[in-house]
């Protein structure tokens, strides 16, 4: 042993960082060189981005650590890659308290916006430990693992920045909830489906414009929902019951709705829809999509025609939250594991009752109150908030025989 191989400041760990063009056998070659001296692996991370590999390995340092360093450098040179070997004293890479998943979604997601979000994270005193792409088409979704600041405080710091930049952002605690069985409770009109069923019914009665105006005011919270609903329903008096078939056939689901339900059902999620609309439509939607629970208003029909009245109590803002809690209890899911999705003022109590409330292309009052907002026109973007990547979705769909459009090159 030479004096160079042993000094008073011997490191206890070595951080080896290798980067360059990816190819089969790179990781194996590096670990072969490490195994020759019997060192222990403390931590390891590897990413491949557009064919470029970055491999970081934290190992315990042997007594002759400089020889190990030289061996690793020779391996890197033989592979045509760059390498750095840093000395350390113990594993200082332990992630700090206050861990969060931060999901940033943009269409597009500009470098300026991402820089601003990263800067705000640094300003808050938090650290970005890891970055992972969740989707690149038709939107860009990036997930950051952040530590050092409580999720609630981090959300309060980042939300105004995201809003001013025109990107969607969600901050969620890094805990086991993501990996457990969860319940998704969705609004229907302008959330699960495009448009409002009551306006589609009113079009057959010749009152579409009048009903649309009342609906808009109710969704903004300017009118009492029950009173506005009864006033709109009264305009439907006399319509033949067959109108339900015509309206149902004309319904268009939100883009990505089937993908969202199909993917999460594979993972054991449960689904419910709660609507201020009508059971004559929502029950059929639930059956079509494989949704487990459904609650909505029922339009009265006598002698094959609508009477312009509702049967029973109205499913309003408070009733939606009650339904969420009842569904969760019935399915054995804790309220903290419930995800609620809605767009209007009558969804506010439901969003507040859930562990994660998502405002989907929602009115301003809803976006301001919800835990997070998604404003891209794809309902399956919510998958990225749950740590599920587009690549995983497409792989599962391909295995099951579904086809998905190819992304642009």
Residue 239 in contact with residue 306, Cβ under 8 Å?
yes
Reduced to 3 states, what is the DSSP secondary structure of residue 61? coil
pLDDT tens, position by position, 374-388: 999 999 999 999 999
What pLDDT sits at residue 223?
86
Predicted pLDDT of residue 409: 42
**Cα–Cα distance for residue pair 347/187, rounded to 1 Å:** 7
pTM here is: 0.84
**Model pLDDT, residue 215:** 87
DSSP string of 62-117, one letter each residue: PTTHHHHHHHHHHHHHHHT-EEEEEEESS---PPPSS-EEEEEEETT--HHHHHHH
246 and 204 Cβ atoms separated by less than 8 Å: yes
In this structure, is the dihedral angle defined by the CA atoms of residues 256, 259, 263 and 265, taken in order, positive or negative?
positive
Confidence at residue 96, expressed as pLDDT on a 0 to 100 scale: 62
Please identify every stretch of the chain with a pLDDT value under 50, giving residue numbers as ranges. 1-6, 8, 409
Give the Cα separation of 292 and 327 in Å (integer).
Answer: 9
The pLDDT of residue 89 is: 64
Domains for the chain: give ranges and CATH numbers.
3-88 (3.30.70.260), 100-174 (3.30.70.260), 183-398 (3.40.50.1000)
- Residues with active-site annotation: 187, 189
SS3 of the chain: helix, strand, coil, percent, to 5: 40, 25, 30
| Residue whose C-alpha is closest to residue 55's, from 40, 72, 71, 36 | 72
pLDDT of residue 46: 87
- Distance CA(262)–CA(257), nearest Å, equals 9
In the prediction, which pLDDT does 3 show? 41
């Amino acid at each position: 042993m030479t004096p160079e191989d042993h000094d008073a400041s011997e490191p206890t760990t070595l951080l080896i960082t290798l980067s360059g063009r990816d190819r089969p056998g790179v990781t194996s070659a590096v670990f072969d060189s490490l195994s020759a001296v019997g060192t222990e692996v403390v931590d390891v991370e590897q990413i491949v981005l557009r064919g470029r590999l970055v491999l970081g390995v934290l190992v315990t340092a042997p007594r002759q650590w400089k020889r190990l360093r030289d061996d690793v450098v020779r391996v890197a040179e033989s592979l045509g890659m760059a390498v750095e070997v840093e000395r350390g004293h113990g594993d200082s890479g332990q992630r700090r308290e206050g861990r969060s998943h931060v999901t940033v979604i943009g269409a597009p997601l500009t470098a300026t916006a991402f820089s601003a979000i990263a800067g705000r994270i640094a300003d808050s005193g938090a650290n970005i430990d890891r970055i992972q792409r969740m989707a690149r088409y038709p939107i860009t979704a990036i997930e950051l693992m952040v530590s050092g600041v409580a999720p609630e405080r981090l959300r309060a710091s980042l939300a105004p920045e995201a809003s001013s930049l025109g990107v969607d952002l969600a901050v969620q605690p890094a805990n086991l909830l993501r990996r457990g069985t969860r319940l998704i409770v969705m609004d229907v009109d302008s959330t699960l489906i495009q448009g409002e069923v009551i306006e589609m019914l009113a079009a057959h009665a010749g009152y579409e414009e009048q009903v649309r105006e009342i609906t808009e005011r109710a969704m903004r919270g300017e009118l009492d929902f029950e009173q506005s609903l009864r006033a709109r329903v009264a305009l439907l008096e006399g319509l033949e019951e067959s109108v339900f078939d015509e309206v149902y056939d004309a319904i268009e689901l939100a883009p990505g709705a089937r993908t969202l339900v199909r993917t999460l059902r594979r993972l054991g999620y449960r689904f419910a829809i709660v609507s201020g609309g009508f059971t004559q439509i929502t029950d059929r939607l639930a059956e079509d999509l494989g949704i487990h629970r459904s609650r909505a208003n029922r339009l009265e029909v006598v002698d094959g025609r609508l009477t312009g009245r509702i049967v029973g109590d109205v499913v309003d803002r408070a009733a939606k939250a009650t339904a969420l809690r009842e569904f969760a209890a019935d399915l054995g899911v804790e309220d903290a594991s419930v995800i609620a999705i809605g767009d209007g003022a009558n969804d506010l109590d439901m969003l507040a009752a859930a562990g994660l409330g998502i405002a989907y292309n929602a009115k301003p009052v809803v976006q301001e109150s919800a835990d997070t907002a998604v404003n891209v026109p794809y309902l399956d973007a919510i998958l990225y908030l749950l740590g599920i990547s587009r690549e995983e979705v497409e792989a599962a769909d391909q295995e099951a025989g579904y086809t998905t459009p190819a992304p642009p090159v």
